Amino acid sequence: MIDIHCHILHGVDDGAKDLDESVAMARIAYADGIRDIVVTPHFNGFYLTVSDIVHRKLEELERELDRQGVDVRLHPGNEVQLVSAAFFDEHTRNRAYSRLGRTGTHLLIEQRWSGYDPDTPEIVQRLLDSGVTPILAHPERHPFFRDDPELLPQLIELGLWTQVSADSLVGNFGPEAQAYGRALIAAGHAHTLATDAHNVNRKPNLGAGMAVFEEVAGAEARAELEARMRSILAD
């Protein structure tokens, strides 16, 4: 399996504290069936994990995983919060953040927890016009999407993909996130699944999340989901 959202890089955000925890997280991911991890440290007003840091830390972790024989492949990325259109434009011009994978045709974005960013449709359209597919992290966890049933579909109609968190589907973020996550799957609005793993205490649960996806949408839809996720890392 492929995990496109994971805070496994050491000492850069609220994820892994150090290299030892990063390795432990990789071992846990491997045990869950994950073989590829896109590292996605936060890129926001508090954690500004720029691309140079992402690549340097990724290489450090790759060397340690190789030394310890942990057969998980790492790929660069960021989770870019939509702080504002001005914030996004500045750091896009500076090429400060990392898109997902080596080819960089997809970008993981995140809404603010304090409320929906009204600049979102404009930012999504700009990304699409530049040949980049935006993937919105864990929309099922945001009350404003649950409360306004038209908000997320409007973004999806533009071309946005969503990333539902496996933990939501197994109930670890409460019944509302679980129910909305399942509803997104049923509506065909769950384009990818990921762990959003932050530490050794928050298990990946990607295998369990995939099982829920298949239960709701069927085996054919799961195969399409897995192919879509592979396309993110295609050379």
Q: CATH number for the domain including 198? A: 3.20.20.140
User: Quick check: 13 and 171 in contact, CB under 8 A?
Assistant: no
**pLDDT cut 90: percent of the chain above it:** 96
Query: DSSP 3-state assignment of 37?
Result: strand
Q: Is the pLDDT confidence value at 129 over 80?
A: yes
Q: What is the pLDDT of residues 40-86, one digit of tens each?
A: 999 999 999 999 999 999 999 999 999 999 999 999 999 999 999 99
How many structural domains compose the chain?
Answer: 1
Separation between Cα atoms, residue 39 and residue 76, nearest integer Å? 5
User: Quick check: 212 and 169 in contact, CB under 8 A?
Assistant: yes
Nearest to 197 by CA among 58, 13, 57, 49: 13
Mean pLDDT in residue range 123-133: 97
**Residue 210's CB: how many other CB atoms inside 10 A?**
19
Please tell me the predicted confidence (pLDDT) of residue 203.
78
Please tell me the predicted confidence (pLDDT) of residue 204.
87
Mean pLDDT in residue range 129-148: 98
Mean pLDDT in residue range 153-171: 98
Please tell me the predicted confidence (pLDDT) of residue 2.
98
Please tell me the predicted confidence (pLDDT) of residue 202.
77
Alpha-carbon dihedral angle through residues 89, 82, 205, 192, given to the nearest 10 degrees = -60
Rounded to 5°, the CA angle 206-211-216 comes to: 125
Distance of CA 71 to the CA centre of its chain: 21
**Backbone torsions φ then ψ of 125, nearest 5 degrees:** -65, -40
User: Quick check: 81 and 72 in contact, CB under 8 A?
Assistant: no
Q: Is the pLDDT confidence value at 186 over 80?
A: yes
Residue 190 — pLDDT band, cuts 50, 70, 90? very high
Separation between Cα atoms, residue 165 and residue 162, nearest integer Å? 10
Domain membership of residue 227 as a residue range = 2-232
Give me 202's structure tokens: 């928050």
Mean pLDDT in residue range 108-124: 95
**pLDDT cut 70: percent of the chain above it:** 100
Please tell me the predicted confidence (pLDDT) of residue 56.
98
Segment holding 122, helix H or strand E? helix 120-129
> For all residues of the chain together, what is the average pLDDT?
97
Distance of CA 47 to the CA centre of its chain: 16
Q: Is the pLDDT confidence value at 133 over 90?
A: yes
Residues 6+ apart with CB under 8 A from 132: 99, 104, 105, 106, 107
Mean pLDDT in residue range 148-172: 98
Q: Is the pTM of this model over 0.95?
A: yes
User: Quick check: 95 and 51 in contact, CB under 8 A?
Assistant: yes
Q: Classify each residue of 41-73 as buried b or exposed e, where b means 16 or more C-beta atoms within 10 Å of its C-beta.
A: bbbbeebbbbbebbeebbeebeebbeeeebebe
Please tell me the predicted confidence (pLDDT) of residue 235.
64
Nearest to 165 by CA among 212, 99, 123: 212
